[in-house]
Amino acid sequence: MPVAPATPATAADGSIRVDLREVIQALSDALDLVGIDDVAHGKRVGIMACHCARTLGQDRQQAGFMFDLGLLHDIGVSSTRTHQHLVNEFDWAGSQQHCITGARLLASFSPLAAMAEPVRYHHTQWEILHAMPAVPTHIAEQANLIYLVDRVDALAAPYYQGGEILVHAAAIRQQIEQRRGGHFAPHLVDAFLRASQAEAFWLQLEARGIAGVLQDMRELHQPCTASTTQLKQLATLFSCIVDAKSPFTAHHSLGVAGLSRWLAEKMGLPAPRCEQLEIAALLHDLGKLRVPDEILEKPAGLDARERSLINAHSFETYQILRHIHGFEEIACWAAYHHEEPDGHGYPFHLGTASLSVEARILRVADIFQALAQDRPYRTGLSAAEVLATLQRFAEQQRIDPAILALAADDMDGAMAAALPAACLA
Q: Are 214 and 47 in contact (CB under 8 A)?
A: no
Instruction: Give the number of other Cβ atoms within 10 Å of residue 410's Cβ.
Output: 13
The span from the CA of 402 to the CA of 355, in Å, is: 13
The span from the CA of 399 to the CA of 415, in Å, is: 18
End-to-end CA distance of the chain: 39
The span from the CA of 417 to the CA of 64, in Å, is: 40
Instruction: Give the number of other Cβ atoms within 10 Å of residue 15's Cβ.
Output: 15
In sequence order, what are the residues at sequence separation of 6 or more whose Cβ sits closer than 8 angstroms to the Cβ of residue 133?
none
Picking from 289, 225, 256, 282, the residue whose alpha carbon sits closest to that of residue 23 is 225
Computed on alpha carbons and rounded to an integer, the radius of gyration of the chain in Å comes to 23
Q: Are 347 and 384 in contact (CB under 8 A)?
A: no
**Cα-Cα-Cα-Cα dihedral sign, residues 225, 283, 346, 408:** positive
Q: Give residue 336's Cα distance to chain centre.
A: 18
Q: Are 137 and 90 in contact (CB under 8 A)?
A: no
In Å, how far are 21, 106, 349, 376, 422 from 373, measured between CA atoms? 34, 27, 27, 10, 12
Q: Given its phi and psi angles, is residue 291 left (phi above 0), alpha (psi -120 to 50 degrees) or beta?
A: beta
Partners of residue 378 on adjacent β-strands: 375
Angle subtended at Cα 333 by Cα 43 and Cα 368, rounded to the nearest 5 degrees? 110
Q: Are 297 and 246 in contact (CB under 8 A)?
A: yes
Catalytic residue among 43, 266, 288, 298: 288
Angle subtended at Cα 403 by Cα 399 and Cα 405, rounded to the nearest 5 degrees? 110
Active-site residue flag, 266 = no
- Active-site positions read 288
